[in-house]
A and B are shown apart, each in its own frame.
Chain A
């Protein structure tokens, strides 16, 4: 684990954009709702590289990203951008 994200689940509105862009697919929608009634995103952090794509796209800015120093992030974006466009059909 080279990176870690912390999601403020009480502020999350469960839009799912972070899930669509995560290159490692390590974010999922929680089965438990928050106080606002949304099902927030949650991360296992198992494969997180700290690329911060989820934080860049998060409209509510609820994701904080940390990365181990001296570990370069995987080429961010490549897979995820395709991912967004791939399902267009």
Chain B
């Protein structure tokens, strides 16, 4: 019999610490498969976030570094500028990228750093106990918005990808969801495209946002959580390519 699916070598053969049904481990697998398919395992450096995925370096068998909360794009800037032949990616959650690290990601995109950012958006702060995140959708119940998020009190969900797509320094911004086999395959294509852009030396930042499940703090079963992404989350965070200027000519003065 032919093997149709098996664990890719870059994904370490170990049990993860994630809750049952968590989207993080799906995202890890997609990144690991992309790295193997593009054969860049030897020259890839990843940056782990602070958040649930803080132990990402235990699961991805590439060089990884752990940096201060939200500062991954700043560290990635230094790494890419000093090692232009290396492939640098940062893996950031919504607490990391959309809350404490908003300044870093906006300025990294603004400067057009040639890095790849994988942004996991699960609309909640998972590691600290399910508090409201900037990306929490209106009406969503969390530990700190027990009546549901109310725009009058807590403001509106932050759509970071739309924000970054406006900046000329970002060349590729796409939002995908990890809400079913078809969407997962689309997400993998997007991640691969983002890495390919960096490999080709494209002048700018590539970012893939992944809507991911947090069954524990959404207080839903894993299957219901995937449905919640499709039914509720995609209304606030519409899927699709927000920007793709991969053909943009190189500008030098």
Contacts and interface: CB of A to CB of B under 8 A. Distances in A.
Contact of A61 (B4, B20, B25, B222): B25
A20 B20 CA distance: 14
A84 B18 contact: no
Q: Which of B16, B24, B215, B222 has the most CB of A within 10 A?
A: B222
Nearest to B212: A59
Contacts of B11: 61
Chain B at the A interface: SS class:
mixed
Nearest to B4: A65
Interface in B159-213: 179-182, 184-185
Interface string A49-68: 01011011101110111111
Given A77-B181, A80-B181, A81-B180, A56 B227 contact: no
Contacts of A65: 3-6
A59 B26 contact: yes
Contacts, number: 96
Q: Which of B22, B181, B222 has the most CB of A within 10 A?
A: B181
B180 A21 contact: yes
Q: Which of B1, B3, B11, B25 has the most CB of A within 10 A?
A: B1
B25 A66 contact: no
Given A17-B222, A60-B15, A66 B184 contact: no
A17 B5 contact: no
Contact of A88 (B184, B215, B222, B227): B227
Interface residues of A, number: 36
B128 interface: no
Interface string A19-33: 011000000000000
Interface in A11-48: 11, 13-17, 20-21, 36, 38
B184 A56 contact: yes
Contacts of B230: 84-85, 88
A50 B179 CA distance: 21
Contact of B1 (A13, A15, A68, A76): A68
Interface in B198-239: 215, 221-223, 226-227, 230-231
Given A60-B25, A61-B25, A52 B16 contact: no
Nearest to B14: A11
A65 B5 CA distance: 5
A14 B2 contact: no
B157 interface: no
Contact of A15 (B2, B3, B6, B222): B222
Contacts of A60: 15-16, 25
Contacts of B180: 21, 57, 80-81, 84
17 contacts: A15-B20, A20-B223, A50-B4, A56-B181, A57-B26, A59-B23, A61-B11, A61-B29, A65-B6, A67-B2, A68-B1, A69-B1, A80-B181, A84-B180, A84-B230, A87-B223, A88-B230
